[in-house]
């Protein structure tokens, strides 16, 4: 059976450009039953040499150096945005207006204000859209969602999440430019809040529902860094660390923390949910496992279960290997591509949509405002 | 060599009465070199049968039913207070005024206001005093202190601590009376803040210095419980859960959480400190271990070390068994008794003194006030 | 109620002398309901100064320097043997013949040949007897026994146990004399086989039944060591390491390993049992936990449970603290004393008896013979 | 730069057919610097429908149903063998004689006798050859090799490895045919010895050198199973479980165990090496981590390090994502393809070669013979 083509135009060829492309290239091998197949039509980047080299290494049929031209092309069905955050809005809006589907790297944009028109644009155009909050598609996290939806946890009391890194402790690390735009507030919008907590918030909203209000504190430990774009020492405007507590609509308390100054942790995204009857824990450094405690177990042998999420009846895992064999970080993107293709097939949205991601933006904005004003903020 | 006697009068014979008594009885076996030895002179409790039975089982030479009589006795050198929190202040102040040494179970009292006169009393009387924040004397935690003092961590960025339990989730659990006074605000002063976070705060002040300001949220999940003293359903006035973030004087951020609604956790006190050069983690469920990450390790083989704190060169451990053999919770009290006896010998304070514990009370009060007023509070 | 006295005469005041004495001293505090109470009547050791000092520190009413005199004393009910292994047989036999109860440190003796007359002696005399294979009384291990007896595991396929240490890697460590008699074959009988594997075998026989035949290999990595008793370099006659596989009578395969050359392990006794329906794991470095896998759990959330064995419904734990609070190595001895006292009360044996321990001796002998002869040996 | 093509002819389209193909398809994305690129020229399988479907899903340009025809084709450079074990020898020998490079799934063949002519064939033909003992290329295992080669461990005392599974406990599972040929001795040669222990042995020979002699025991727990090829209950001729101990040439002791009856373990390959100065541990269920203990660490903070092998200076990891982000099982095959391509480029062998794998076959044969004859066997 001939598959329908989904011709991809990728904007940006950095770390995320690679993870998305890998998703497109591999989905057919593992999800052979899907009607659609992605086609790597074009990659777009400002530096011609690099765009060309990326196209060659990863197998794009062509390249562009101006994203507006990419969007004008008739042979592109979907625009995938992997640029720094400040380019998300203009590209996404133009793509939607040109009738393209839009897949946007997270966070949706730098602020709610910048995000809202993106939502409006895709909804007005009626184009399929999704945001790459990829951790929803870690099989263990997807299973957590299924367990929660089954009612096994009962009333929720606590939700907590951390995202701990240590890569910016060195004061000699500059800000700005390729690979370091995450330290540059103009490009990134914020620091760990938009980069890391946004992931934690997206998962939390999905697993535990809406957040009502937040109280936050942020810190910038290193106040000035050399700026790669200006060549001068400049004030660091991003948040190096952020913690907040919050109330969820369901009555539970939330506690979130993120930092790039937690020596010893590389990308330690950890979450835990405590319900009346059961609890769940997960961390990204050991992503194939879910920890689960069920109070209904016989009391003498009741304990935290460490479940190796590699069996055929675990989410997504019937598409990979055999029990006990780990998958990795990159499979979250393959899974999201598969779900996106399936959503085209079914005519249903592929969450998180732009509208879903707007909620995360609102929480991030409330967090940053709370930190600035040292007061509770409604979301 | 004949040892000097330290004749103990114990007030209260509950859980803490047992842990302290066990400390007095065993210290001589493990710390044979000390000049002082505790003598179990008298235990005091309101219910004569129980006081007598406790005296017999644990080996007290006598018993009393009125703590004022106990304090009047000439054959008592030190009063050890293991009552519910509301009795700490009157007993401690009377004991100090009678010239007795005072060892007081934590927290010092229900509030700062109630605690201050206790500090004044022991200082005016010039009597040795200490508060049983026993977790300082887990060998792994003591080692953490030594590592920090050595400078191995460098500048501190983050301090986080949790104390998670799940024993009050059942709505049928009553409040008040023996074993359940911790749910009764009159007896306890507060809920998890004074009971559990007070431990976390004491350790934090010791390891990481003073706290400047706090922003907290508390929650009472079950609003009414049967009260054992009134026989009626009464409003629950304590905090079931509390989280707060804070600034330490040294510039680091703190994050604290405690709850009795974290299904699956029995007494999970966890702490982590992230410094510029190294980090430390510990938890009470596996108390013989310390986790330590040192960035100065060669990069390819750099990782979190899990150190089994059972060697002869680890704090206190030369007094116990051989490498690899665990000690337990109760040894923290034996260690504190040993340190108290040594402080008598040396004429030095045995921290945390009443004055040290007053700092913890101030932080607890600021936390509770912050939660009530939904605003940052200076300590 | 006045308790019946069990007047103890302890032979040997080393590491094991301390652990047993601690057991006698603590049992009344934690097991107040027992009819008997141990009385520390006398300790016996060859060196008068040390025997006297031990008596003073630990509270023995008297001391002796000749074990024969100790046995002759009318005011002693039970002889507890904590000497090096070569003294177990003569002391135990003489004690039994004098009508004393006998508690003997493990292994029963250096060989089966030496052990058999000990069994005969206590059985002929009809005196209560027990051997201190203390790991049976780790609450987690006792729970493992209960789980197995309940049938939860079904047919057993595999039993494996390790006891890994690293304290003799240094070639400069001498053999023989106080603290180092375990390296001296004359005093110890064997190396890791009698010292460490004997523990693993005792637990295995208890949990999994009889062993039919064994095939073993031993190694002595450091061939000569200075001997503290002769002052000369002498051949090392003990086994530094030993591994064996075996068939159990129930059809399961066993695999055992012990060494003092496993760098990084202090006293890592680990066991695992795999049954048709469920499996169990435990290790001594984290002795308060049991790991349990139950295949009858719902498949998506099936995993190894890590059970913190500190609840009131766990074996022995109703006598200690509250859920979540660890006990230590020494409590295994307190538990064994409690069980011995209860056996006196009930008129039942206190396993492992001398006869039970003889089975372990037979397995050890078969293991050593198999290693010598490079062939399978029936037990 | 145009890449040189390596045109692959794959024989077999099962589980291993997928892992190898995935390796070929991905290598260019992650190892863009290599001169060679694999081309999926043809897949061969007996069932035309399946061969065709596999070719379509995974992107092979053509398919065959007779491996002899595949070997005859001029447009194939390398034959990759993913059949059941009994077909390895005829295909490999014919391929070598036709001048094709040969990549063979492990084990090399069912026996040493069958393997030797394969080695002779590839060596006589002078064709590049490799065997897919893929676990050498887990980055953590490769790092273990580098650490050992650096001398950090010093003299080795112990090597131990387990490979534990539980998928054949159900007595209703049949033997033979697609997916179950591993239970059929004719197709597989042996049970866990050739399937699982062969992996452990290959790694051991690589990390710790040659094995001198072995003493083994095997067990077949379920004696008869329905046979899918005969439709009748047939005797089970494979080994369900196997344990052996051995001497390595370097003087260390080895201990190996494998089973498919260890309830709770899916594919738990675990290895540990204890050296004079340091030790290493690893397990497949958490394959991104290596545990490392270094005795030269300062004694108070000495412990097992858990190293997350995801940094740019870890083996192979500069080709994947960023620190903290896991890779999976399948990347071991991508890494082996990369090394094979590099070996073509450099004109060097790509270990393990057929000759290397012959050593593993010899150890397996000695193990099985030892188990049959209940005696030690030289390798």
Give residue B186's pLDDT: 95
d(CA D187, CA B126): 87
Shared domain for C195 and C291, answered yes or no, is yes
Number of domains in chain B: 2
Please tell me the distance in Å from B325's CA to the nearest CA on chain C. Answer: 6
Rg (CA), chain A: 21
Asked whether residue D248 carries a pLDDT value surpassing 80, the answer given is yes
Give the end of a domain, one of B134, B162, B184: B134
Please tell me the distance in Å from D271's CA to the nearest CA on chain B. Answer: 17
Closest to C40 measured CA to CA, from A6, B299, C56: C56
Give residue A1's pLDDT: 59
Tokens matching residue A364:
């991030």
> Mean pLDDT throughout A283-294?
98
d(CA D44, CA D51): 6
Shared domain for C310 and C362, answered yes or no, is yes
C29 interfacial to chain B (CB closer than 8 Å): yes
Q: In chain A, what residues touch D28 (CB-CB under 8 Å)?
A: 57, 59
Interchain proximity B261–A295, CB inside 8 Å: no
Give residue D179's pLDDT: 82
**Token pair 């290599």 in the structure block, residue:** D34
d(CA C25, CA C19): 10
Q: What residue in A sits closest to D287 (Cα-Cα)?
A: A326
Give the end of a domain, one of C106, C134, C162: C134
| Cα B363 from chain centre | 15
DSSP string, C17-61: HHHHHHHHHHHHHH-TT-SEEEEEEEEE-SSHHHHHHHHHHHT-S
Model confidence over B192-251: pLDDT tens digits? Answer: 999 999 999 999 999 999 999 999 999 999 999 999 999 999 999 999 999 999 999 999
Asked whether residue A179 carries a pLDDT value surpassing 90, the answer given is no
Asked whether residue C233 carries a pLDDT value surpassing 80, the answer given is yes
Phi/psi for B151 (5° steps) reads 90, 5
Q: How many CB pairs under 8 A join C and D?
A: 101
Considering only CB atoms, D29 lies closest to which of A22, A28, A327, namely A22
Shared domain for B88 and B199, answered yes or no, is no
Give residue D1's pLDDT: 59
Shared domain for A218 and A318, answered yes or no, is yes
Please tell me the distance in Å from C148's CA to the nearest CA on chain D. Answer: 14
Shared domain for D273 and D348, answered yes or no, is yes
Model confidence over A115-142: pLDDT tens digits? Answer: 999 999 999 999 999 999 999 999 999 9
Asked whether residue C200 carries a pLDDT value surpassing 70, the answer given is yes
Considering only CB atoms, D305 lies closest to which of B146, B290, B303, namely B303
Considering only CB atoms, A285 lies closest to which of D19, D324, D329, namely D324
Considering only CB atoms, C217 lies closest to which of D215, D264, D304, namely D215
D245 interfacial to chain C (CB closer than 8 Å): yes
Considering only CB atoms, B267 lies closest to which of C57, C324, C327, namely C324
Considering only CB atoms, C263 lies closest to which of D241, D247, D275, namely D275
Model confidence over B14-53: pLDDT tens digits? Answer: 999 999 999 999 999 999 999 999 999 999 999 999 999 9
Q: How many CA atoms lie within 13 A of C228 on its CB side?
A: 15
Taking the alpha carbons at both ends of chain D, their separation in whole angstroms is 48
d(CA B206, CA B136): 8
DSSP string, A68-120: HHHHH-TT--EEEE-S-GGGHHHHHHHHHHTT-EEEEPSSSSSSHHHHHHHHH
Shared domain for A89 and A146, answered yes or no, is no
> Mean pLDDT throughout B313-341?
98
Shared domain for B119 and B147, answered yes or no, is no
Tokens matching residue C377:
């040996």
CATH, residue B201: 3.30.360.10
Helix extents (H) in D173-279: 185-188, 192, 198-208
Closest to B271 measured CA to CA, from B360, B196, B193: B196
Interchain proximity C301–A292, CB inside 8 Å: yes
Interchain proximity B158–A262, CB inside 8 Å: yes
CB atoms within 10 A of CB B48: 11
Label the pairing between strands C211-219 and C241-248: antiparallel
pLDDT-derived band at B178, boundaries 50, 70, 90: confident
C244, containing H or E segment: strand C241-248
Shared domain for C90 and C169, answered yes or no, is no
Give residue D66's pLDDT: 98
B241 interfacial to chain A (CB closer than 8 Å): yes
Kindly report the average pLDDT of chain B as a whole number. 97
Q: How many CB pairs under 8 A join B and D?
A: 57
CATH, residue A38: 3.40.50.720
d(CA C233, CA B292): 41
> Mean pLDDT throughout D222-244?
97
Closest to C211 measured CA to CA, from C361, C348, C35: C361
Shared domain for A95 and A165, answered yes or no, is no
Interchain proximity A306–C306, CB inside 8 Å: yes
Domain region containing B85? 4-134
Please tell me the distance in Å from B268's CA to the nearest CA on chain D. Answer: 22
Q: In chain B, what residues touch D314 (CB-CB under 8 Å)?
A: 300
Asked whether residue D146 carries a pLDDT value surpassing 90, the answer given is yes
> Mean pLDDT throughout C176-191?
93
Give residue B2's pLDDT: 83
Percent of chain D with pLDDT over 90: 99
Kindly report the average pLDDT of chain D as a whole number. 97
Tokens matching residue A35:
């009607």
Q: What residue in A sits closest to C292 (Cα-Cα)?
A: A301
d(CA C84, CA C322): 38
Q: What angle do CA D96, D129, D83 make, to 5 degrees?
A: 75
Asked whether residue D246 carries a pLDDT value surpassing 70, the answer given is yes
Tokens matching residue C368:
């050593």
Please tell me the distance in Å from C63's CA to the nearest CA on chain A. Answer: 44
d(CA A41, CA A309): 35
Helix-then-strand count for chain B, H and E: 11, 17
d(CA B326, CA C325): 13
Give the end of a domain, one of C104, C134, C164: C134
Asked whether residue C175 carries a pLDDT value surpassing 80, the answer given is yes
Q: How many CB pairs under 8 A join A and B?
A: 102
Interchain proximity B313–D299, CB inside 8 Å: yes
Rounded to the nearest 10°, the torsion over CA A359, A364, A369, A375 is 90
d(CA B80, CA B88): 10
Shared domain for A170 and A295, answered yes or no, is yes
Tokens matching residue C281:
């794991």
CB burial of B357-376 (b: ≥16 within 10 Å; e: otherwise) equals bbbbbbbbbbbbebbeeeeb
Give residue C77's pLDDT: 98
Considering only CB atoms, D292 lies closest to which of B290, B292, B301, namely B301
Label the pairing between strands D241-248 and D101-104: unpaired
Shared domain for B153 and B292, answered yes or no, is yes
Q: Quote ipTM for the complex.
A: 0.96
Asked whether residue B1 carries a pLDDT value surpassing 70, the answer given is no
Interchain proximity B303–D302, CB inside 8 Å: no
Q: In chain A, what residues touch C290 (CB-CB under 8 Å)?
A: 303
Interchain proximity C245–D277, CB inside 8 Å: no
pLDDT-derived band at C1, boundaries 50, 70, 90: low
Phi/psi for B213 (5° steps) reads -150, 160
D281 interfacial to chain B (CB closer than 8 Å): no
Taking the alpha carbons at both ends of chain A, their separation in whole angstroms is 48
Considering only CB atoms, A321 lies closest to which of D165, D327, D330, namely D330
3-state secondary structure of C136: helix
d(CA D326, CA D319): 12
Shared domain for D90 and D233, answered yes or no, is no
Model confidence over D272-292: pLDDT tens digits? Answer: 999 999 999 999 999 999 999
Interchain proximity A308–D19, CB inside 8 Å: no
Give residue D14's pLDDT: 94
């Amino acid at each position: 059976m001939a598959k329908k083509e989904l011709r991809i135009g990728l904007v940006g060829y950095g770390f995320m450009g690679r993870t998305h492309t890998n998703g497109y290239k591999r989905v057919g091998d593992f999800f052979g039953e899907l009607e659609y197949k992605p086609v790597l039509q074009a990659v777009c980047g400002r530096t011609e040499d690099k765009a060309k080299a990326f196209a060659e290494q990863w197998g794009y049929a062509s390249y562009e150096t101006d994203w507006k031209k990419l969007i004008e092309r008739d042979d592109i069905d979907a625009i995938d945005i992997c640029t720094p955050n400040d380019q998300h809005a203009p590209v996404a809006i133009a793509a939607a207006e040109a009738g393209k589907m839009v897949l946007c790297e997270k966070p949706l944009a730098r602020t709610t204000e910048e995000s809202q028109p993106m939502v409006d644009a895709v909804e007005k155009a009626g184009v399929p859209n999704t945001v790459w909050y990829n951790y929803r598609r870690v099989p263990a996290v997807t299973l957590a969602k299924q367990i929660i939806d089954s009612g096994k946890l009962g009333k929720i009391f606590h939700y907590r999440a951390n995202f701990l890194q240590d890569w910016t402790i060195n004061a000699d690390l500059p800000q700005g430019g390729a690979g370091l735009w995450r330290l540059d507030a103009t490009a990134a919008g914020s620091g760990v809040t938009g980069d890391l907590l946004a992931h934690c918030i997206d998962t939390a909203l999905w697993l535990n529902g809406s957040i009502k209000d937040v109280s936050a504190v942020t810190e910038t430990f290193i106040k000035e860094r050399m700026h790669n774009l200006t060549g001068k020492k400049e004030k660091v405007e991003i948040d190096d660390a952020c913690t907040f507590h919050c109330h969820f609509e369901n009555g539970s308390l939330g506690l979130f923390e993120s930092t790039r100054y937690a020596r010893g942790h590389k990308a330690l995204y950890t979450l835990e949910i405590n319900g009346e009857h059961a609890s769940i824990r997960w961390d990204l450094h050991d992503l194939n496992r879910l920890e689960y405690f069920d109070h209904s177990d016989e009391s003498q042998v009741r304990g935290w279960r460490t479940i190796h999420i590699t069996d055929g009846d675990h989410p997504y895992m019937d598409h990979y290997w055999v029990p006990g064999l780990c998958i990795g970080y990159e499979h979250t993107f393959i899974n999201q591509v598969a779900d996106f293709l399936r959503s085209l097939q079914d005519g249903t949205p592929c969450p998180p949509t732009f509208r879903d991601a707007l909620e995360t933006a609102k929480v991030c904005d409330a967090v940053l405002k709370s930190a600035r004003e040292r007061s509770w903020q409604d979301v």
